[in-house]
Amino acid sequence: VAVIAVSKTTRDDYLFRTYGTRASTESCPIVDACLATSAATTFFPSIEINGIEYVDGAFRKNNPSGAALAELESTEWISPMRDAVAEVGCLISVGTGRGTFDREASSALSKIIPKGLISLKDAAKICIKIATDCHEAHLDIEKRFRRAGLDDSYHRFDVEIGLESIMLNESDTKALQHITSVTKGYLKSRQHEMERCARLISPRGSESV
């Protein structure tokens, strides 16, 4: 298992691993790694680990698919690959919704302004920027697999319409019901692809993983 965070000072990304040489020599409790990878700028505070201050992937690695492929080719991986795109059986990327539709957030809780933001409008801009960068990263990975003639080895699940105005701090009942409803509808529309992924990653399946 690995999670990604970014140095607040250098903006370099860093993987906190449960495997490899660095994992055995560097002391980092699981809870600290979780706090680092979820320290969304302006929403949650950064965390210092071994003298370095970390925040979440933000605009650089909120879609870590590229980092995952690079990791498979690194010496930190248990059995490094020569070409991860060609050798990986199935890479599945899960998004949190694209920014193409608007929904009115009417609850009082949804209008709480996170510490560090000038207004709710600023929070919306941050969420839209993150969603845009995540989709661009997806398109890049998709292109790499397509060029290799391995379209079916990469799958991205990301609700296309309906979650764009949901803020990171929105957790009221109405918002959760909306998220559940929209996500169920999306998953139903992608049922065939999900079943295909299940066969690809199942150790009992006839296809290699």
Mean pLDDT of 110-131: 51
Both 170 and 132 in one domain: the answer is: yes
Both 115 and 173 in one domain: the answer is: yes
Percent of the chain residues past pLDDT 70, beyond the cut = 78
Q: What is the pLDDT of residue 122?
A: 57
Q: 39-43, 102-106, 197-201: which range is least confident on average?
A: 102-106
Both 96 and 181 in one domain: the answer is: yes
Q: What is the pLDDT of residue 16?
A: 93
Tell me the per-residue pLDDT of 131-168, one tens digit each, with 9 for 90 and over: 557 888 899 999 999 999 999 999 999 998 888 778 77
Quickly count helices (H) and strands (E) in the chain: 8, 6
What distance in Å separates the CA atoms of residue 64 and residue 1, rounded to the nearest whole number? 13
Both 173 and 93 in one domain: the answer is: yes
Whether residue 135 lies inside any domain: the answer is yes
Q: What is the pLDDT of residue 22?
A: 80
What distance in Å separates the CA atoms of residue 88 and residue 15, rounded to the nearest whole number? 20
**Domain interval for residue 49:** 2-61
Both 56 and 106 in one domain: the answer is: no
Beta-sheet strand order (sheet of 2-7):
13-17, 2-7, 52-55, 47-49
Highest mean pLDDT among 25-34, 89-98, 105-114, 182-191: 182-191
Q: Secondary structure of the chain: what % helix, strand, coil (to 5)?
A: 45, 10, 45
Q: What is the pLDDT of residue 106?
A: 39
Burial (0-12, 13-18, 19+ Cβ within 10 Å), 123: buried
Both 49 and 6 in one domain: the answer is: yes
Q: Which residue has the higher pLDDT, 57 or 27?
A: 27
Both 110 and 153 in one domain: the answer is: yes
Whether residue 51 lies inside any domain: the answer is yes
Domain stops at, among 61, 81, 98: 61
Both 98 and 11 in one domain: the answer is: no
Q: What is the pLDDT of residue 127?
A: 58
Name the one residue in this structure whose structure tokens are 């055995």: 24
Q: What is the pLDDT of residue 91?
A: 95
pTM: 0.74
Question: Buried b / exposed e across 154-192, counting CB within 10 Å, b at 16+?
Answer: bbbebbbebbbbbbebbeeeebeebbeebbeebeeebee
Whether residue 207 lies inside any domain: the answer is no
Mean pLDDT of 51-60: 80
Q: What is the pLDDT of residue 130?
A: 57
Q: Which residue has the higher pLDDT, 118 or 150?
A: 150
Both 96 and 54 in one domain: the answer is: no
Both 51 and 120 in one domain: the answer is: no
Both 114 and 55 in one domain: the answer is: no
**Domain total of the chain:** 2
Q: What is the pLDDT of residue 56?
A: 86
Both 131 and 183 in one domain: the answer is: yes
Whether residue 68 lies inside any domain: the answer is no
